[in-house]
Structure 1
Amino acid sequence: MASELRAGATGNDPGGDTGLRVQCVAADLGCEQGLRRASAALRELLQDASFGRLLLVNNAGSLGDISKSFLDFTDLQEINTYFSFNISSALCLTSTALRAFGARPGCSRTVVNISSLCAREPFPSWALYCAGKAARDMMFRVLALEEPQLRVLSYAPGPLDTDMQLLARTRTGDPGMRQQFQRMQEKGQLIDSSVSAQKLLQLLKEDSFPSGAHVDFYDI
């Protein structure tokens, strides 16, 4: 459940050259100590008044135990741990970042939630993941409604060719879903992460989506 907070910003260095500064903070966002560590790093970074734009991408997430069906989830600690990492940490980090950056005159602020088709469609054996993604979408819709000066986007990147997809086609408890994922891999239907990332960048550059919208890779 360990995650890495990566923050980057452009600015002027002491020599007068414009460059990119990247700060990586390893933190377990599923526990209180890790969340405090990440939040403190965000607050420290965003105190820099020279930053003219905030782009926050909430990408940390996990599948949960996809070998289980709905009726197998009876352990409250397991369920709470999943939602703490996949929902609560995104809420806390986003709030922390927006408070630290503030509403600076002339500065744009954009929040991206990495979503999924599972936010809208039920997948058997994926009760935790579907519930978490649906909750995050609604959470960020509320943010868009409360803060109309923000730009908020939930982006579903499509079936990416990642380790998470490998888990999906090998550990999904429902046989039909597992075989469907396997067929996608065999037919070359998985998407390279860089291709999906470019579509997200295109979306952000055009900036024509309604704030709070859910946009899928295949919608573009």
Structure 2
Amino acid sequence: MEPETPSEMAPSQARDFGRALCVITGASKGFGWSLAREIAALLKPGSVLLLVARSGDKLLELQADLASSEARKAGLLVRCVVADLAHKEGVESVIREVRETPGEGLDHLLLFNNAASLGDVSRYVKSFTDMAEVDSYLSFNVSSALCLTSSILGEFPQRSGLRRCVVNVSSLCAVTPFPSWVLYCTGKAARDMMFRVLAEEEPELRVVNYAPGPLDTDMHLQARSSTADPNMRKSFVDMHSQGQLLTCEQSVAKLIKVLLEDDYPSGAHLDFYDL
């Protein structure tokens, strides 16, 4: 399967996202990295691309990669925030950087809640007795997404001429239980519902929960190496050995197509394979 390019997309859709503030969490690798590279070319001059991750070295590497591209030459400002979103200070550092972007003249606000962790998949539900461990996982994977989204929307309230879009990078695990994946499934299900509620409360927002499909990333390597449930682990190993994993570029291309066509019910859970 070859990734779609903007030239292959439906002619009825928008060709770019205008002059935008685009925030991507978890941008230092995998899906977030590919998303940053692909979306940069679809932001008009004067746009700001804000990249957030815990790895400063990887963010600088991505920034340098974007700096050599045509998108950067066209007037895209790329800023990096090294932040651990598991902690209040990390979320606040992103908000401080967002406040440095003036809202006047912006056509689009795009927030991609991509940062997430798999959690310990080597154990079953009955072994999770430590509340501090569970709280730490949920803080990074759920609480930070809620507080970051709410804060950014507060900085850029609804106004005429500004289109606001919030994307939650979801998973099949948000709707299907995976044995020995209690933390990940719980976090993804909570995030999906969180953004469904947001869509109900803020009808002028565009909100989507996007499940990118099985990606060839470090997270999938962890899944096929560490998953406790033998049937689940075998399915992940087989998926990899049989070449059934998607590239991040393939999945990103489909998400961008969905956003540009803008023809989805706000708050919907959209899976790569259903589009």
The bucket for the TM-score relative to the shorter chain is over 0.9
Q: Does 1:139 align with 2:194?
A: yes
Q: Where does residue 127 of structure 1 map in the other structure?
A: 182
Gap runs ≥5 in structure 1: none
The letter of the residue matching 1:26 is: V
Q: Where does residue 75 of structure 2 map in the other structure?
A: 19
**Relative contact order higher in (CA < 8 Å, ≥ 6 apart):** 2
Q: Where does residue 71 of structure 1 map in the other structure?
A: 126
The letter of the residue matching 1:109 is: R
1:211 Cα shift?
0.3
* Greater Cα offset, 113-122 or 24-33: 24-33
Distance 1:121 1:102 in 2: 34
Q: Where does residue 209 of structure 1 map in the other structure?
A: 264
1:172 Cα shift?
0.6
Q: Is the 8 A contact 2:113 2:145 kept in 1?
A: yes
Distance 1:188 1:51 in 2: 42
Distance 1:96 1:10 in 2: 25
Task: Pick from 86, 108, 111 the counterpart of residue 53 of structure 1.
Answer: 108
Q: Is the 8 A contact 2:165 2:206 kept in 1?
A: yes
Runs of 4+ in 1 over 6 A off after TM superposition: 5-9
TM-score for the superposition, normalised by structure 2:
0.74
Q: Where does residue 102 of structure 1 map in the other structure?
A: 157
Distance 1:114 1:27 in 2: 19
Task: Pick from 171, 176, 181 the counterpart of residue 226 of structure 2.
Answer: 171
Gap runs ≥5 in structure 2: 1-24, 48-72
Task: Pick from 112, 120, 137 the counterpart of residue 82 of structure 1.
Answer: 137
Q: Does 1:118 align with 2:173?
A: yes
Distance 1:27 1:104 in 2: 29
Q: Does 1:33 align with 2:85?
A: no
Q: What is the aligned length?
A: 215
1:12 Cα shift?
4.1
Distance 1:50 1:18 in 2: 17
Spell out, residue by residue over 1:180-212, the C-alpha distance to the aligned partner (whole angstroms, 9 max, x if none): 100000110000000000000010011110000
Distance 2:93 2:27 in 1: 11
Secondary structure of 1:91's counterpart equals helix
Q: Where does residue 55 of structure 2 map in the other structure?
A: none
Aligned-residue identity in percent: 54
1:175 Cα shift?
1.1
Taking only aligned residues, the RMSD between alpha carbons, in angstroms, comes to: 2.0
Distance 1:202 1:3 in 2: 21
The letter of the residue matching 1:211 is: S
Cα 1:198–1:4 shift into 2, 3 Å: closer
Distance 1:44 1:62 in 2: 28
